[in-house]
Amino acid sequence: MDWFPLYNSLRIALFATVIVFFAGIYAAHLICRLPRWIKGVLDVFLTLPLVLPPTVVGYFLLCIFGTKRPVGIWLLETFQFKIPMNCYGGILAAAVVSFPLMYRTARGAFESFDQTLRYSAQTLGLSERYIFWRITMPACRQGILAGTVLTFARALGEYGATSMIVGYTPGKTATISTTVYQLWRTDNETLAMQWIIINLIISTVVLILVNMLEQREKNKKTKRME
């Protein structure tokens, strides 16, 4: 059994999660402080990948980063670097599709943060960077962790956008999702089922982690109320 699809899926999901973690937190923290009408417009734009079909997202990415498009041509001529049909395209696709999960979760956590703590820290002369990393982030860590786990799970199971931008090449771009589809197309249902079981195990573990984080947060709130 070729384990490359598992390795490639985990690699893509991990790098995509790291990118989305920082991008999602930055976007959520920034937008929470904007006027309501600007917040509404940006919120719709940043959440679109969550409601659009993944294949449509993949098509838009090809329209931007395709080797015959201006950005794709510039990347290829300047850096000899192309997005389609390699691991980097998979990371980009997974990051774009999973971004709304991290953004929405982080935004919810920041909006529920008690701003009196921030104001108190400001009166003590603490910098905004210190307040964010040492006060806001620890207070919102449960929501941030839950968003991170969900982001990883979504990136790991991504198929539509990934298949559009990187396709399926054994030993190069194959992921668990694209491998299952190819095995089904070639009537190799036994091996396809093995990959499905592996994916189910990983997904179950991820959901258990999310539930544990949510339960831990509920227990903390209950203790505070007591």
Amino acid at residue number 45: F
Going by pLDDT thresholds of 50, 70 and 90, the confidence category of residue 94 is very high
Amino acid at residue number 24: G
Cβ–Cβ under 8 Å, residues 67 and 76: yes
Closest C-alpha to 28, from 109, 94, 92: 109
Which has more pLDDT, 213 or 149?
A: 149
Residue 225 has pLDDT above 80, yes or no: no
Sign of the Cα pseudo-torsion (85, 91, 94, 95, in order): negative
User: What percentage of the chain's residues is helix, strand, coil (to nearest 5)?
Assistant: 80, 0, 20
